Amino acid sequence: MDKKVRGKTFIVAGPSGVGKGTILKKLFETHDLYYSVSATTRDPREGEVDGVHYHFLSVEEFRAMIAEDALLEHAEYAGNYYGTPKRYVDEAMDAGRDVILEIEMQGARQVCAKRPETIRIFIAPPSWEELERRLVNRGTDAPEKIAQRLRQARVELENAGEYDYMVVNETVEKAAEEVAAILCAEHCRVDGRLEEILKK
Which residues in this chain contact ligand 5GP in the complex, by CB under 6 A?
16, 38, 42, 73, 75, 77, 82-84, 102-104, 106-107
For ligand 5GP, the closer CB: 82 or 163: 82
Shortest Cβ 103–ligand 5GP spacing (Å): 4
For the CB of residue 23, give the shortest distance to ligand 5GP in the complex, in Å: 12
Nearer to ligand 5GP by Cβ, of 1 and 49: the residue is 49
In the complex, least distance from residue 1 CB atom to ligand 5GP, rounded to whole angstroms: 36
DSSP state of 162: G
Q: With CA atoms as reference, report the closest residue to 38 among 78, 86, 77.
A: 86
Question: Closer to ligand 5GP at the Cβ: 4 or 154?
Answer: 154
Q: Are 88 and 117 in contact (CB under 8 A)?
A: no
Q: In whole angstroms, how close is the CB of 2 to ligand 5GP at the nearest point?
A: 33
- CB-count exposure of residue 1 (10 Å: 0-12, 13-18, 19+): exposed
Nearer to ligand 5GP, 7 or 83 (CB): 83
Ranges of beta strands (E only) in 38-187 are 38-40, 54-56, 71-77, 80-85, 99-101, 119-124, 165-168
Q: How far is CA 195 from CA 15, 101, 164, 190, 200, in A?
A: 37, 26, 23, 9, 9
The minimum distance between CB 3 and ligand 5GP, in angstroms, equals 31
CA distance linking residue 183 with residue 8, whole number of Å:
9
Neighbours of 147 (CB within 10 A): 12
CA 170 to chain centre: 19
**CB of 147 or CB of 184, closer to ligand 5GP:** 147
Task: For the CB of residue 184, give the shortest distance to ligand 5GP in the complex, in Å.
Answer: 23
Is the Cβ of residue 31 or residue 42 nearer to ligand 5GP in the bound state? Answer: 42
For ligand 5GP, which residue has the nearest CB?
107
Please calculate the CA angle 62-68-74 and round it to the nearest 5 degrees.
50
